[in-house]
Structure 1
Amino acid sequence: MSDAATPKVRKTPARRRKPAAKKTTESAAPAAAPPTQPAEENAAPVALIRVPLSVRWRDLDAFNHVNNSKYLSYLEEARLRWMLGVPGQGLDDHVAPVVAAAHLNYRRPIEWPAEVDVELFVERLGNTSVSIGHRIVDAKDDTVLYCDGNVVMVWIDRGTGRAAELPVAVREACS
């Protein structure tokens, strides 16, 4: 076998351990108290909508529970129903919302047949975006949590593709 056929293996240097900190007999200074939160951050989140949905047979995967990608579809349906209640639906010829990030915590599988409720609420309201928290719960028992997390929606200028100021109607619907 020639050298050209031998794969080159790049060795990475071993990491060195940092020396342990020396023990002292002096007591450490007490930790500083965490900064206090502004009153608005401690307030209950603004409820946007609670949407009842039926789990469909086609939502199931080979393991006979709702496929993880369908959770995003449920959230999308709830957001669209909420947006229908916002005057102008938060879009016009100049601005439109896009999903910038989605975070889902899958808490337990949803099995068929099932009725679920998708709850949306405002987590954070910014200048160009809103973080919409969500929970997918059992329709008959909202202590049964299937999923939670958030989706960040950013309003963009349709011409430039850059972030744009939140429309007044969206800001009012979120307050």
Structure 2
Amino acid sequence: MRHNYRCPLRWSDMDAYGHVNNAIFLRYLEEARIDFLALRAKESEEGSVVARHEIDYKRQLVHRPDPVDIELWVTEIRAASFTIAYQVKDEELVYVRASTVVVPFDFETQRPRRITSEEREFLERYRDGAEEEAVAA
């Protein structure tokens, strides 16, 4: 299963050429990731931090009033990290393919932690290993 997020484009996202600035895509990925992880709806002292981003820019996204779709899924679940893949796209056009390695984190102890069985169960529902095209394509 995949999670879909409709990301609004803001006027301030635009560069001098009228395109969405490449650095802004990191914020778009963050918004989609937060929307996805909020599906767990579990308040805790534990959260997660980003260990790595990889972004492959495919084409320019021209600023417009309509949102862009961000599709995300889980490609790998390890003992103490998981990888999320994304496509920022419209129906037929892919603007960005990306992946993020996320590390569960205990904010009270300020240390990384292992993925709990509940978290693993949640992530497994969004695992889509057959489509690891996020950055490879």
TM, length-normalised to structure 2: 0.82
Indicate whether 1:106 and 2:57 are aligned. Answer: yes
Match of 1:116 in 2: 68
Gaps of 5+ in 1: 1-45
**1:163 is matched by which residue type in structure 2?**
P
Q: Percent identity between the aligned chains?
A: 30
- Mapped to 1, the partners of 2:29 and 2:37 lie a distance apart of 12
- Mapped to 1, the partners of 2:15 and 2:119 lie a distance apart of 36
**2:80 is matched by which residue type in structure 1?**
T
The one of 45, 49, 61 aligned to 2:15: 61
Match of 1:79 in 2: 33
1:157 Cα deviation after fit: 2.9
- Mapped to 1, the partners of 2:6 and 2:108 lie a distance apart of 36
The one of 82, 95, 103 aligned to 1:146: 95
**2:73 is matched by which residue type in structure 1?**
F
**Greater strand fraction, Structure 1 or Structure 2:** 2
1:88/1:169 contact within 8 Å kept: no
**Greater helix fraction, Structure 1 or Structure 2:** 2
Computing the radius of gyration from Cα coordinates, the structure with the larger value is 1
1:62 Cα deviation after fit: 1.1
- Mapped to 2, the partners of 1:121 and 1:74 lie a distance apart of 15
1:53 Cα deviation after fit: 1.8
Aligned residue pairs total: 123
Match of 2:107 in 1: 158
TM, length-normalised to structure 1: 0.65
Match of 1:35 in 2: none
Q: Secondary structure at the match of 1:74?
A: helix
Give the structure, 1 or 2, with the largest relative contact order (CA under 8 Å, sep 6 or more). 2
Gaps of 5+ in 2: 125-137
- Mapped to 2, the partners of 1:159 and 1:53 lie a distance apart of 31
1:118/1:136 contact within 8 Å kept: yes
